[in-house]
Amino acid sequence: MKTRAAIAVAAGKPLEVTEVDLEGPRAGEVLIEVKATGICHTDEFTLSGADPEGLFPSILGHEGAGIVVDVGPGVTTLRKGDHVIPLYTPECRQCPSCLSRKTNLCTAIRTTQGQGLMPDGTSRFSCGGETIFHYMGCSTFSNFTVLPEIAVAKVNPDAPFDTICYIGCGVTTGIGAVINTAKVEQGATGIVFGLGGIGLNVIQGLRLAGADMIIGVDLNNAKKPWGERFGMTHFVNPNEVGGDLVPYLVNLTKRGADQIGGADYTFDCTGNTTVMRQALEACHRGWGQSIVIGVAGAGKEISTRPFQLVTGRVWKGTAFGGARGRTDVPKIVDWYLAGKIEIDPMITAKLTLDEINKGFELMHAGEGIRSVVVY
């Protein structure tokens, strides 16, 4: 079939919206009509050329929601008409990683996914006879896309596509980092570095978990009211503290009899390796945990004095908020429908596919929180 899609033709170039050819689903695959997709900073990261796994030409996008319109042979858990969210982290429930119960990082199809291909090693997309690569197993910047059954979460059909698409990455990553990865307890102190589409969801996750002190750190003062809107109690702009950021934060988190200071939990939502170090060192001696969420470019490395770890700080990372997609994503959609979490105010631009490059421009300008393309 033909479908309209935005093609990433080369690193650093605007996406090109055009008609592409899409093959139907093979065994174990489903065809999805994408109804809406968010634009995550990771799409921009790959488009910029900083992603070691970045491939061109490809169809980016990994934060979608849509409807199953066809199923391939052997598909048993999905049928035409199901409302779904594509999963860049699948959940096969059979691989050693899934069976371990220690991680959400299903390994069933990770190798081919990283090569921009379906599990059988081929692409379903082409244009003028040239192969177009898939992206993160999702390619939601296409009106229609094909996914393996194990990478699709079936969700409540009452939920609107143009908001629940955000659960396909940002919402789940931010809230999941708090609940699944850090396992934040009531009364904790948390510091969130970077108040964008991920950081604000970490903030609402901290509020949900009952954290007492929720500090947001961002270079952009326009993010202060956004943080406050979702539960932030203190805002810090590193350029306005008049000295080193880490001692400032450690001092800010001194509470009652505990005059050592440092947060119980910190979260990097910037992808900046200098910030990752600050986030670790702003943790409380003896127990503070720092969770790396941000994705850093090829060649970037993190460092700190080992003494920071010797004295009990813990450095962790999280992908997709530690969520097992087919199990957890439908629950998060239900939380949203029940009003337990907020999504709508964070969606600050709704665009057509033809306007998709404007979404990247808004991100570069630090304007708004999440742009969503509605098909």
Q: Specify whether 169 is catalytic.
A: yes
DSSP codes of every residue in 88-136: SS---S-SHHHHHTS-S---SSHHHHHTT--TTS--SEEETTEEEB-ST
Residue 35 backbone phi and psi in degrees, to 5:
-100, -30
Q: Specify whether 283 is catalytic.
A: no
Among 199, 216, 288, 322, binds ligand NAD (CB under 6 A): 199
| Rounded Cα distance, 94 and 148, in Å | 14
Nearest-approach distance from CB 237 to ligand NAD, in angstroms: 8
The 313-352 site mask, x for binding ligand AHE (CB under 6 A), equals ------xx--------------------------------
Contact at 8 Å (CB) between 157 and 57? no
Nearest-approach distance from CB 187 to ligand NAD, in angstroms: 26
Query: Is residue 73 close enough to count as binding ligand AHE by CB under 6 A?
Result: no
Among 363, 371, 372, 375, binds ligand NAD (CB under 6 A): 363
- Binding partner of residue 294 among Zn ion, ligand NAD, ligand AHE, none, CB cut-off 5 to 8 Å per kind: ligand NAD
DSSP codes of every residue in 308-339: HHHTT-EEEE-SGGG--HHHHHHHHHHHHHTT
Q: Specify whether 313 is catalytic.
A: no
Q: Specify whether 269 is catalytic.
A: no
E strands present in 201-300: 213-217, 234-236, 265-268, 289-292
Query: Is residue 9 close enough to count as binding ligand NAD by CB under 6 A?
Result: no
Residues in 155-194 at the binding interface with Zn ion, rule: CB under 5 A: 169
Q: How many residues bind ligand AHE (CB under 6 A)?
A: 12
| Rounded Cα distance, 115 and 119, in Å | 10
Nearest-approach distance from CB 89 to ligand AHE, in angstroms: 6
Radius of gyration of the chain (CA): 20
Among 34, 146, 159, 295, binds ligand NAD (CB under 6 A): 295
| Rounded Cα distance, 109 and 240, in Å | 46
Query: Is residue 282 close enough to count as binding ligand NAD by CB under 6 A?
Result: no
- Binding partner of residue 53 among ligand AHE, ligand NAD, Zn ion, none, CB cut-off 5 to 8 Å per kind: ligand AHE
Q: Pick the closer one to ligand AHE by CB: 97 or 357.
A: 97
Among 26, 110, 154, 358, binds ligand AHE (CB under 6 A): 110
* Identity of the amino acid at 128: G
Nearest-approach distance from CB 349 to ligand NAD, in angstroms: 12
Instruction: Give the burial string for 256-285 (b: 16+ CB within 10 Å, else e).
Output: eeeeebbbbbbbbbbbbbebbbbbbbbbbe
As given in the structure block, the two tokens for residue 126 are: 């082409």
| Rounded Cα distance, 294 and 279, in Å | 12
Query: Is residue 278 close enough to count as binding Zn ion by CB under 5 A?
Result: no
As given in the structure block, the two tokens for residue 89 are: 């982290």
Which residues, 6+ apart, have CB-to-CB distance to 19 below 8 Å?
Answer: 2, 3, 4, 5, 127
Nearest-approach distance from CB 276 to ligand NAD, in angstroms: 10
Q: Specify whether 42 is catalytic.
A: yes
Among 4, 45, 56, 115, binds ligand NAD (CB under 6 A): 45
| Rounded Cα distance, 224 and 167, in Å | 23
Query: Is residue 89 close enough to count as binding ligand AHE by CB under 6 A?
Result: yes
- Binding partner of residue 110 among ligand AHE, ligand NAD, Zn ion, none, CB cut-off 5 to 8 Å per kind: ligand AHE
Q: How many residues bind ligand NAD (CB under 6 A)?
A: 33
| Rounded Cα distance, 204 and 336, in Å | 12
The 26-55 site mask, x for binding Zn ion (CB under 5 A), equals --------------x-x-------------
Q: Pick the closer one to Zn ion by CB: 91 or 281.
A: 91
Could you list the active site residues?
40-42, 62-63, 92, 95, 98, 106, 110, 169, 370
